[in-house]
């Protein structure tokens, strides 16, 4: 069917909800990776039935469907293929229920993470997953990527909070999995299969989330080190102690310098490493844990300061959340990796990263959720400098090889999408990849649901 006719039919089905002008389509052609594409149309459903109609229509006409939240993904997951239809969930953004009795929130996929956090806090409740993009990413995107965040070290990642989902399958039928129960072992766990599936199995249209009571108290510690190795060793000392901090974030010298040149937050620019640590819980437990953590930091040559009011705490977190943008002050192109190693191996991974940066003569800025062993490795380069860009690409393979050698994983929370798909066989066996492709085929026999993502071509 010619494109014009195809778009007309879409528009007839969902009047006023279909964009086809080039200037509109361009806005949906990229995410936070460096990849881009141009869709055939963007559809903005208002209700689940709209998604069903679009999917069924795309299925009958063999058109790729690309689910999209806010487009903050780091691996190109929502970047469109040619001739594809973007299903943008931004308009399905209602919080349907906050059920205080059962400690459950039911939301549409387009709800912004921070919006839910604010609504819950008013009721003294809390939803732990807090990606640094929480002020602009959607919960649908979080579920599709199994997003993490600083608080994962204590509270886990998105998958630990998803109790149930409504998903529209490629042919348009609606699949309901799980629901409001905290325990449920009837049949295979299809809810968990959907979490982290990167929009390759269906479009998520409703989410049931577990919520928690808001912790009574939080204490924030900032610990600076003149040697990054000491900061990395402190991470292992804390994770092997009896305390589980709420966050345990690391920044290296390059990251600290980039933040300060982006905006003056007052971070110590001469420090080689910095840890941002929080503990939460009851008043008495928090003060004991904070003291123990301060002792661990001091015994590893760290200097500790405490952010004891909400203003200074928010100020430090604003600095932390600005890193991604701030790094562009170093160089115009960022190759962002998201590796994880077992927590006790964080110091070894930092040694490997230093070796790689010296061997390839590249600036590599590292920061991240060190308490989970999750390090965001950012190779700063310039795409126009072809020679350096080639070196940067070679360094990526070495970083992944070192990660796998240390029993780690090449993606902790950003997914595979387009940018990492050529590397998945470094970690997954042939048997696993084959089985995953077969699972996809069962859900998506025509291969129209976010094709070209996760699996190598
Ligand atoms: C500055 C910055 C900081 C970040 N920090 C973190 C962090 O700390 N932790 C972390 O985990 N991530 C982080 N990210 C990555 C990103 O924000 C997350 O992956 C987020 O979950 C993506 O949400 P989104 O709404 O933008 O999804 P999109 O980018 O629109 O989509 C991401 C993927 O999900 C799929 N998808 C989206 N909505 C649906 C749906 N309703 N149904 C099915 N599939 C869907 C898309 O097809 C795509 O594959 C960061 C990104 C930025 C730019």
Is residue 386 assigned to a domain? yes
Residues within a 6 A CB radius of ligand 1? 31-32, 66-74, 77-78, 89, 109, 131-133, 137-138, 140-142, 144-145, 147-149, 198-199, 203-204, 324, 413-414, 450
* Atom 27 of ligand 1, nearest CA residue: 141
Do 284 and 364 reside in the same domain of the chain? yes
| 16, part of any domain | no
- Cα angle, residue 104 at apex, residues 103 and 109 outer, rounded to 5°: 155
Domain stops at, among 189, 213, 237:
213
First to last CA, the chain: 26
Structure-token pair, residue 284: 């008495």
CA 408 – CA 147 distance, rounded (Å): 18
What average pLDDT does this structure show over 362-368?
97
Q: What is the pLDDT of residue 5?
A: 58
Given ligand 1 and candidates 30, 51, 73, which is best to mutate, with the most ligand atoms within 8 Å of its CB? 73
In-domain check, residue 445: no
Q: Is pLDDT at 48 greater than 90 in this prediction?
A: yes
257 and 403 belong to one structural domain: yes
Question: What does the radius of gyration of the chain's CA atoms come to, in whole angstroms?
Answer: 22
Q: What pLDDT, on a 0 to 100 scale, did the predictor assign at position 8?
A: 77
Task: Flag whether pLDDT at 2 surpasses 90.
Answer: no
- Residue 79 located in a structural domain: no
User: Across the chain, what does the average pLDDT equal?
Assistant: 96
Ligand 1 atom closest to 138 (CA): 25
Centre of ligand 1 to C-alpha 47, Å, is: 21
CATH number for position 240? 3.40.462.10
Could you give phi then psi for residue 83, rounded to 5 degrees?
65, 20
Within a domain: 147:
yes
pLDDT by residue (tens digit) across 215-239?
999 999 999 999 999 999 999 999 9
Residues 178 and 317 in one domain: no
CA of 25 from ligand 1 middle (Å) equals 19
Distances (CA, A) of 132 to 40, 54, 129, 136, 410: 31, 32, 10, 9, 19
- Site of tokens 């009574």: 216
Q: Facing residues of 377 across strands?
A: 337, 366
Longest CA span, the chain: 70
Within-domain flag for 425: no
Closest C-alpha to ligand 1, atom 53: 72
Q: Which residue of 131, 160, 374 sits with most ligand 1 atoms within 8 Å of its CB, as the best mutation to test the pocket? A: 131
Q: Do 202 and 242 belong together in one domain?
A: no
Query: Could you tell me if 203 and 230 lie in one domain?
Result: no
Which residue, by CA, sits nearest to atom 44 of ligand 1? 199
Mean pLDDT, residues 259-287: 95
pLDDT of residue 9: 86
Q: Which of 39, 66, 75, 78 to mutate to test the pocket of ligand 1 (most atoms within 8 A of CB)?
A: 78
- Mean pLDDT in residue range 69-88: 96
Same domain, 140 and 267: no
Q: Any idea how long the chain is?
A: 457
The domain of 265 spans: 215-413
Structural domain count of the chain: 2
Same domain as 299, residue 386: yes
* Dihedral over alpha carbons 227, 229, 235, 237 (to 10 degrees): -100
Q: Give 310's pLDDT tier (boundaries 50, 70, 90).
A: confident
- Taking the centre of ligand 1 as the mean of its atom positions, its distance from the CA of residue 150, in whole angstroms, is 15
Supply the pTM of this predicted model.
0.96
Mean pLDDT of 89-109: 98
170, pLDDT greater than 90:
yes
Burial zone of 272 (CB within 10 Å; 0-12 exposed, 13-18 middle, 19+ buried): middle
DSSP 329: G
Same domain, 188 and 288: no
pLDDT recorded at residue 1: 55
Check whether 323 has a pLDDT greater than 80: yes
Q: Are residues 116 and 245 in the same domain?
A: no
Q: How far is the CA of 74 from the centre of ligand 1 (A)?
A: 7
291 and 254 in one domain?
yes
Q: Is residue 60 part of a domain?
A: no
Q: What is the 3-state secondary structure (H, E, C) of 91-137?
A: HCCCEEEEECCCCEEEECCCCEHHHHHHHHHHCCEECCCCCCCCCCC
Report which ligand 1 atom has the smallest distance to the Cα of 194.
43
Helix/strand/coil percentages in the chain, nearest 5 = 40, 25, 40
Kindly report the CATH number assigned to the domain that includes residue 192.
3.30.465.10
Whether the pLDDT of residue 96 is over 70: the answer is yes
Do 367 and 402 reside in the same domain of the chain? yes
The answer to whether residues 160 and 275 belong to one domain is no
Is residue 322, in this structure, part of any structural domain at all?
Answer: yes
Over residues 43-67, the mean pLDDT reads: 97
């Amino acid at each position: 069917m010619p494109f014009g006719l195809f778009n007309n039919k879409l528009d007839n089905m969902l009047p006023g909800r279909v964009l086809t002008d080039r200037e509109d389509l361009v806005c949906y052609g990229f995410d936070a990776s460096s990849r881009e594409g141009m869709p055939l149309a963007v559809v903005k459903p208002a209700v689940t039935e709209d998604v069903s109609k679009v999917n069924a229509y795309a299925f009958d006409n063999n058109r790729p469907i690309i689910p999209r939240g806010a487009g903050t993904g780091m691996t190109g997951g929502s970047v469109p293929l040619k001739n594809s239809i973007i299903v943008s969930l931004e308009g399905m953004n209602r919080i349907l229920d906050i059920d205080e009795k059962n400690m459950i929130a039911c939301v549409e996929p387009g709800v912004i993470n921070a919006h839910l956090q604010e609504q819950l806090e008013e009721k003294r409740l809390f939803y732990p997953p807090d990606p640094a993009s929480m002020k602009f990413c959607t919960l649908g995107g979080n579920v599709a990527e199994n997003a993490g965040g600083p608080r994962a070290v204590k509270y886990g990642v998105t998958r630990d909070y998803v109790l149930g989902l409504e998903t529209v399958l490629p042919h348009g039928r609606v699949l309901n999995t799980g629901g409001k129960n905290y325990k449920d072992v009837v049949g295979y766990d299809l809810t968990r299969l959907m979490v982290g599936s990167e929009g390759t199995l269906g479009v998520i249209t409703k989410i049931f989330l577990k919520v928690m009571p808001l912790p009574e108290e939080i204490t924030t510690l900032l610990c600076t080190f003149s040697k990054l190795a000491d900061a990395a060793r402190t991470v292992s000392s804390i994770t092997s102690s009896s305390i589980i901090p709420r966050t345990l974030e690391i920044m290296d010298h390059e990251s600290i310098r980039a933040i300060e040149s982006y905006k003056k937050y007052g971070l110590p620019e001469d420090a080689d490493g910095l840890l941002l640590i929080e503990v939460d819980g009851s008043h008495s437990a928090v003060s004991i844990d904070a003291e123990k953590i301060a002792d661990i930091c001091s015994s590893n040559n760290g200097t500790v300061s405490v952010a004891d009011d909400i203003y200074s705490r928010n100020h430090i977190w604003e600095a932390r959340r600005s890193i991604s943008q701030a790094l562009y002050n170093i160089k115009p192109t960022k190759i962002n990796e998201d590796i994880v190693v077992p927590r006790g191996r964080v110091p070894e991974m930092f040694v490997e990263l230093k070796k790689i940066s010296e061997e390839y003569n590249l600036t590599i800025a590292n920061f991240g959720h060190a308490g989970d062993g999750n390090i965001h490795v950012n190779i700063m380069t310039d795409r126009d400098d072809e020679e350096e860009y080639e070196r940067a690409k070679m360094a990526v393979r070495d970083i992944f090889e070192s990660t796998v050698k240390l029993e780690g994983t090449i993606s902790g929370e950003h997914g595979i999408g387009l940018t990492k798909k050529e590397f998945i066989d470094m970690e997954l066996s042939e048997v696993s990849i084959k089985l995953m492709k077969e699972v996809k085929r069962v859900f998506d026999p025509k291969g129209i649901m976010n094709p070209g993502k996760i699996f190598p071509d």
